[in-house]
């Protein structure tokens, strides 16, 4: 195996996206397109990955970090010009260089590996990855002759009517002999409809020098999708979504309706977990085994344990311990930690709080900035009053306490363990261990009140 390098083209402005966000930073199932491309190149194993980024593309570098080296293409003069920017890093290297467009997020490591192996076995100077497209519009067409095989690639805008009929397209991914690539790049001209330096022209240049140029055909056009606009972006999301769902199903996850289930790229799910329709699992989320994620739940950057049941609820940056349950219609906001076997019922909102084992918060409750121990029962309609208009304060509730319905716990305040709070109480001071706090007006009765009122009429 020779040395292997990859150049990722990511400097194009992406005019057709009509977006403030750099084209290659648009996410496909939660991961920027350029992230998918670089991750697949990394799986293949590269001695060096060089990303060509444009002016103002700090986001690309911030995102990829040390996965790649970077070169700058100050002006976007075309894909050949973009690759040329990497000459300072790669020009003198012996080996194979893979060039991939940052807007082809569906390419897989297996395809890249197949392409490199084919290229090296054939000892070609250039191998272009091609695919058959039912609708080739917008792609470069691969022109072949019977005697010579691949002779050149013609862009959509430069194609004759005859050339435009060709359905074999350039995927924008190529394998080159590194030195031959950088020598040929010197010869690329911009005499075409767009006035750009086209990388595909390297194919024709090498061919004319009688070098061996090959094409490696993709079985599946899905992988070739180049995302130039939002319509293609939606298509890429659809294909990636199906791929991700299939992977989870093959790993033992039941997905009731895969076409209506959205699981982002880095999410992990344990065996025998069931995911119902309309669920969106995002970011760095991990779901345990034998869990149940009910219809229309949204889980973002959260960790959900084994046998957890989530019913139509939203979780953000939260942790749910094993055997806990939530919902329907509840919301865990960032920094919520539920330990094992916690029950959260309907219409409960929890923010920045830890909730101990076996604690139950069944209905219509707000818990914010709090520490709750084990075996607590929080009654319906309880409010943790954490905000005084300027600052947030904390409520601490000890183990085995019982908070009656419709209580207000005004922070900062501590309810010690084994304490009872009478329903309707507004608690402002420490409730000592083993005690009952009643903080409400006593009931008074006015006898015969109805009759008196009637007499006044
Ligand atoms: C390109 C190919 C086309 C192929 C298609 C596959 C050329 C001239 N055409 O067309 O044959 O079928 O990809 O998807 O190469 N970029 C730069 N600097 C530039 C211009 C582009 O870094 O100056 C980057 C872009 O960020 C993008 C990639 O190169 O990631 C491809 O550019 P794009 O404008 O999308 O080319 P296509 O028109 O799609
Ligand atoms: Mg493109």
Predicted pLDDT of residue 57: 76
Residues in the chain: 457
Q: 136 in ligand 1 pocket by Cβ < 6 Å?
A: no
Radius of gyration (C-alpha) of the chain in whole angstroms: 31
User: Residue 88 — very low, low, confident or very high, per pLDDT cuts 50/70/90?
Assistant: very high
Q: Considering the entire predicted model, what is its pTM?
A: 0.93
Burial class (CB in 10 A: 0-12, 13-18, 19+), 297: buried
Q: Which atom of ligand 1 is nearest to the CA of 81?
A: 23
The pLDDT value recorded for residue 220 is 83
Q: Are strands 168-177 and 126-132 parallel, antiparallel or unpaired?
A: antiparallel
Give the distance between the most distant pair of CA atoms in the chain. Answer: 114
- pLDDT score recorded for residue 12: 87
pLDDT at residue 2, as a whole number: 75
Give a three-class secondary structure readout of the chain.
Answer: CCCEEEEEEECCCCHHHCCCCCHHHCEECCEEHHHHHHHHHHHHCCCEEEEEEECCCHHHHHHHHHHCEEEEECCCCCHHHHHHCCHHHHCCCCCEEEEEECCCCCCCHHHHHHHHHHHHHHCCCEEEEEEECCCCCCCCEEEEECCCEEEEEECHHHCCHHHHCCCEEEEEEEEEEHHHHHHHHCCCCCCCCCCCCCCCHHHHHHHHCCCCEEEEECCCHHHHCCCCCHHHHHHHHHHHHHHHHHHHHHCCCEECCHHHCEECCCCEECCCCEECCCCEEECCCEECCCCEECCCCEEECCEECCCCEECCCEEECEEECCCCEECCCCEECCCEEECCCCEEEEEEEEEEEEECCCCEEEEEEEEEEEEECCCCEECCCCEEECECCCCECCEEECCCCEECCCCEEECCEEECCCCEECCCCEECCCECCCCEECCCCCCCCCCCHHHHHHHHC
Share of the chain above pLDDT 70, in %: 100
Looking at all shown ligands, the one closest to residue 23's CA atom is 1
Give residue 356's pLDDT.
98
Does 382 have pLDDT greater than 60? yes
Specify whether 363 is catalytic.
Answer: yes
178 lines ligand 1 (CB under 6 A): no
Angstrom distances, CA of residue 141 to CA of 44, 156, 225, 366: 27, 7, 14, 60
CA of 228 to the centre of ligand 2 (A): 5
Kindly report, residue by residue over 129-168, the tens digit of the pLDDT. Answer: 999 999 999 999 999 999 889 999 999 999 999 999 999 9
Q: Return the pLDDT at 449.
A: 96
Instruction: Tell me the domains of the chain and their CATH numbers.
Output: 4-224 (3.90.550.10), 313-437 (2.160.10.10)
Q: Which of 119, 248, 296, 363 is catalytic?
A: 363
Predicted local distance difference test score (pLDDT) of residue 1: 57
Tokens of 337: 């930690």
Question: What's the mean per-residue pLDDT of the chain?
Answer: 97
- Predicted pLDDT of residue 376: 98
CB of 143 sitting under 6 A from ligand 1: no
**CA atoms of 60 and 415, how far apart (whole Å):** 50
- Confidence check: pLDDT of 373 > 70: yes
> Of the residues 70, 79, 202, which should be mutated to test ligand 1's pocket, given the most ligand atoms within 8 Å of the CB?
79
pLDDT of residue 219: 83
Residue range 302-329: average pLDDT?
98
Over residues 17-27, mean pLDDT? 95
State the average pLDDT over residues 208-221: 94
Q: How far is the CA of 271 from the centre of ligand 1 (A)?
A: 41
pLDDT confidence of residue 13? 80
Question: CA 365 to CA 124: how far, in whole Å?
Answer: 68
And the tokens for 324?
Answer: 């806990």
Q: What average pLDDT does the segment 422-449 reach?
A: 97
- 84 CB within 6 A, ligand 1: no
Q: Ligand 1 pocket test: which of 7, 10, 12 has the largest number of ligand atoms within 8 Å of its C-beta?
A: 12
Residue nearest to atom 37 of ligand 1 (CA): 139
CB of residue 192 inside a 6 A radius of ligand 1? no
């Amino acid at each position: 195996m020779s040395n292997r390098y990859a150049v990722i083209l990511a400097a194009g402005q992406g005019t057709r996206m009509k977006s403030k966000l750099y084209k290659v930073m648009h996410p496909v199932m939660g991961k920027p397109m350029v992230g998918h491309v670089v991750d697949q190149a990394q799986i293949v194993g590269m001695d060096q990955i060089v990303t060509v980024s444009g002016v103002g593309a700090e986001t690309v570098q911030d995102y990829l970090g040390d996965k790649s080296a970077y070169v700058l293409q100050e002006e976007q003069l075309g894909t050949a010009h973009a690759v040329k920017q990497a000459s300072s890093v790669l020009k003198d290297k012996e080996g194979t260089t893979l060039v991939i467009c940052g807007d082809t997020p569906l390419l897989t490591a297996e395809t890249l590996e197949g392409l490199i192996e084919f290229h090296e076995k054939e000892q070609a100077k250039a191998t272009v990855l091609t695919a058959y497209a039912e609708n080739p519009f917008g792609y470069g067409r691969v022109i072949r002759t019977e005697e010579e095989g691949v002779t050149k690639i013609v862009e959509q805008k430069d194609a004759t009517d005859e050339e435009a009929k060709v359905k074999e397209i350039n995927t924008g991914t190529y394998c080159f002999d590194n030195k031959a690539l950088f020598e040929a790049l010197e010869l690329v001209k911009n005499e075409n409809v767009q006035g750009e330096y086209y990388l595909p022209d390297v194919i024709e240049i090498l061919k004319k020098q009688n070098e061996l140029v090959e094409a490696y055909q993709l079985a599946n056009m899905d992988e070739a999708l180049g995302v130039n606009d939002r319509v293609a972006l939606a298509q890429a999301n659809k294909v990636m979504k199906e791929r991700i769902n299939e992977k989870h199903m093959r790993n033992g996850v039941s997905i009731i309706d895969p076409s209506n289930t959205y699981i982002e790229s880095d999410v992990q799910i344990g065996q025998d977990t069931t995911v119902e329709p309309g669920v969106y699992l995002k970011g760095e989320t991990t779901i345990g085994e034998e869990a149940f994620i009910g219809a229309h739940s949204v889980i973002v950057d959260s960790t959900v344990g084994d046998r957890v049941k989530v019913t139509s609820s939203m979780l953000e940056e939260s942790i749910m311990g094993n055997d806990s349950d939530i919902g329907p219609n509840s919301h865990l906001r960032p920094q919520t930690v539920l330990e094992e076997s916690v029950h959260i019922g309907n219409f409960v909102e929890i923010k920045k709080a830890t909730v101990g084992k076996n604690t139950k918060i069944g209905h219509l409750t707000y818990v914010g900035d709090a520490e709750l121990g084990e075996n607590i029962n929080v009654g319906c309609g309880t409010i943790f009053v954490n905000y005084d208009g300027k600052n947030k304060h904390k409520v601490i509730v000890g183990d085995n306490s019982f908070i009656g319905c419709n209580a207000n716990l005004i922070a900062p305040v501590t309810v010690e363990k084994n304490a009872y709070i009478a329903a309707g109480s507004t608690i402002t001071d420490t409730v000592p261990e083993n005690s009952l706090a009643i903080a409400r007006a006593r009931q008074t009765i006015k006898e015969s009140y109805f009759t008196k009122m009637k007499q006044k009429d």
